Structure 1
Amino acid sequence: MFVKGFVADPVVYSYLMLGFVRDGDSDGVFRLFEELKEKLGGVVSDGVVYGSLMKGYFMKGMEEEAMECYNEAVGENSSVKMSAVANNSVLDALCNNGKFDEALKLFDRMKNEHNPPKRLAVNLGSFNVMADGYCGQGRFKDAIEVFRKMGEYRCSPDTLSFNNLIDQLCKNGMLAEAEELYGEMSDKGVNPDEYTYGLLMDACFEVNRVDDGATYFRKMVDSGLRPNLAVYNRLVGKLVQVGMLDEAKSFFDIMVKKLKMDDASYKFMMKALSDGGKLDEILEIVGGILDDGGIEFSEELQEFVKGELSKEGREEEVVKLMEKKEREKAEAKAREAEAAEAAKRSARAAIASLIPSKFGDKVGGTEMADNANANEAASVAEAQAGKEVNLEEATAVESASADANTT
C-alpha cells in the first residue's frame, strides 16, 4: 500500500478493511490498520476505520479488544474524530455482535450531538443500522418507530431504506405492518421499485392472498417498472398452482412482450395449458414466437410442443404452422419487393414529368420535336431514378433529337 509521495487516506483504507471483513479475513483487517497507523506516524485520528477494526476483533473472538477499540474511538477522552459514517460503522459492529445495549447508548449520544448544519452526527444510514439492530433483537415495533423518527433529525428515507425494513417485516410474518409502511412511501415522496413489489407479492403468496399478490405485480407493471423473469415466474407458478390458469395466461400475454422469456418459461406456460386442455392456445403461443424475428423457436422447444400436442394426436399441427409461417414470410417479402419496384417506377415517371426539355417549347413545333422532348425527359428520368440507361443510349437519343430539330 505504500506509494512514494502519497499520504495514506483513512477513507480508502476503510473500504479495503471492509472488504476483508466481508471476506472473513480478520488478519487482513489488522494488517491494514497497522499499515495505516505506521503511515500516519503512529496515530489514527479518523474514526472511519474503527468499525471495521472492531469487526475484525469480534470475528477473532477477541471481544475485550473490540470494546477497547470502541472506547478508544468514542470514549469520553477520545481524540478520534467520529463522523456520522464512522459512528454508523461502529453501531453496526455493536448491533451484530451482541452489544445492542451499547449501540443504543451510542445512538442516543449521536442524536443528542446532532445539530445541523453545524454538526451532522446522524444520517439516513444511522437509522437504517438501528432499524436492522432492532429487527435482529426481534423488536420489530421499535424498528418501525425508530424508522419513522428519522424525519425529526432532518433525515429522509429512500427506497432502499423502505425495502430493507419491509423485507424484515415480511420475513417475520408482519405483512400488515409491511403494507402500512408501503402505504407511507408515497407520503414521503418515495417511489416503490421492482424489489418492493416483489417482496409484497411473495409475502401475500405466503399467506395465500394470491389475488393481492397478483395485484402488486400488476401495480408494478402499470407503474412502468419491469420485473425480472424470476419474479414473473413466481407469479405465474403460484397462479397455476391455485388453479387460476386464465389469470396466469393473461399475465403471460402481457409479459411476453416485455420480457425475454427463456425456454423454461415457455414450457411452464405451455404445460399448464396442455394440462388444462387448451392446446389451441399453445399453438397461438408458437405462432407468436414464429412471428417475432427476435425469438428463436429452438429444437428443444419444438420437440416439447410436439410432445404435448401428441397427447391428442395433433403433433403435425406445429409442423404445418411452421410451414405456413414460412410461406407467409416469403409472400410478405415478395409483396415488399413488388411494392419497392412499383415505387421505383412511380418515381421515374414523376421525375420525367418534372424535367423540362432543353430544346424549349418554341423550337420546331413538329411532332418529331415533341417526341424528341419526350425521349429526352424519359432518358433523364431513367438516369435519375435507377441509372439504368447507359451513356451510349442517352447519346443516341440526344443525336436523334438534334437531327429532328435540324430537319
Structure 2
Amino acid sequence: MGYEDTKKRSVKKYGKNPYKKSQKLRPNSVLKVPVWPSIELHKIWKQWLAAYRWVYNQCVEFFNNQRTLPKGKSLDQVIQSQQVKPENEWTIGLGKTRQEAVCEAEQAYKQAKTANNGQSVQLRYRSCRNKSQVIQFKNDAYRNGTWFPKKVKGMLFCTAIGYQVPRNCNYGTELVYQRGQWFACFPQYIEPTTTGSDQVIALDPGNRAFLTGYDGENVLEIGKGDIGRINRLCSHLDNLLSRVALSKNKRQRYQMRKAATRMRNRIQYLVKDLHNKVASVLVNSYKLIFLPTYETSQMVLKSIRKINRKSVRNMLSWSHGKFACYLEQKAARSCVLVVRCNEAYTSKTCTNCGHVHKNLGGSKVYKCPQCGHIIARDINGARNIMLRALQATAFTVVNDSIVVSDAIPTGAL
C-alpha cells in the first residue's frame, strides 16, 4: 500500500521578487553645486568630515596591521564597537554613513592589492590637511533639501547664483570640502537625446591650438592662441610662490597662499569652461568623432621626452585626458560615437603624396620635400587622422544611430 504526501507544499519560489527590485536607472551625470553653509552647519559638517576620516583611518590601520576579523563579525561591526568607547563617542553622530567609509576603505585595499599582484600593501592614512576631502552618504541621507534634517534642525546653506539643489535625490550623494570651499554632488540620470547631424570629424590635439578638427569640408582650430592667457596666469602663480618662499611674515605668507589658491582655481575654471563649450559644440554638430589617444603622462617623462619644459607645461595645462573622458560621457548622452584612434606619424606624413618627413621637428608649417605641398602642420595631422581612421573603421548609419563593424580589430586604429 502506497502512501501519498497529502500536505500541500508551497510552490512559492523564495527569493527577491523581480518586480520589487529598484527601478532606478544608472546615473550618467553628476550635478556639482558650490554651497555655503551657515556657521553652525559648517561646524557640524566639519565634525562629520572628521568622523568619516576617523572611520576610514581605523579601517586602514586594520588592513596595514593585517589583523583578522573576529568570528561572525564584519569590519563595520568592529568599527562600531570602537565608537562606543568614551574617547570615540564624538564619531557616533556620523550614523550609518560609517558604512560608506568602511566600504570605501575595503575597495581601496582590494584595488591596491590587485595592482600589487595580490601581495600585501600599506595604505595611506587620510589627513585633515588634504586639499580635497569627501563624505559619501547613502541615498536616504539627503531629504527635504539637506542631509539628516533631524540632526541639523533647520540650519540652512545657500548656493551660487544660477545653481539649484534638488529637493530629494534617489542616489547616494557626496559632500566635498576642497580648498576651503564646500561642494554638493548629486548623481542624476539625463535622458539621452539624439543629435540631428550625421557628419564625421577627426580631432588632432596639440599645444598651440587645443584641438584642430577636419570634417572633410571645413577645418576647425579650437583654442588657438588661448594658451597665452593660461601661461600669463601660470607666470603670476610662479611669481607668487617665489614671494611666499622668501617672505618672513607669517600673516603675509598665509595671504599669498590663499591668493595662489585663487589663481589655481582661475586657471582650472578657464580650462574647464573650454572643455564644456568644445564638447557641447562637437556633440551637437557631429555623429562620429575620431579622437586620438593622447598619452600626455608618457610624453612628459624627463627620461624619454624630446620637448622643452614650456611645451610640457602647456600640454599638462590643457588637460587633454580630462577632456577625453568628459567628451565620451557627453557623447553617450547624445547617442554620438567617440572612437579612440592612433595618431602615429600623422603629422610627419604628407597628406598629398604620403611621404614621411623625418626632419619636420617643431615646424608650424608642413612643406613636403618630395611634392612641395605646403599646409599647416596641425591641419595636415587632422586630415591624416581622418584618412587613417576611416580606412581602419567600418561603420554604418542606421536611422538615428551609428554602428561600428567588428570585422576590423580595434588595434588597427
TM range (shorter): under 0.3
The TM-score with structure 2 as length reference comes to 0.26
Does 1 or 2 have the higher relative contact order (CA < 8 Å, sep 6+)?
2
Q: If each structure's strand is expressed as a fraction of its own residues, which one has the higher value?
A: 2
Structure possessing the higher radius of gyration over alpha carbons = 1
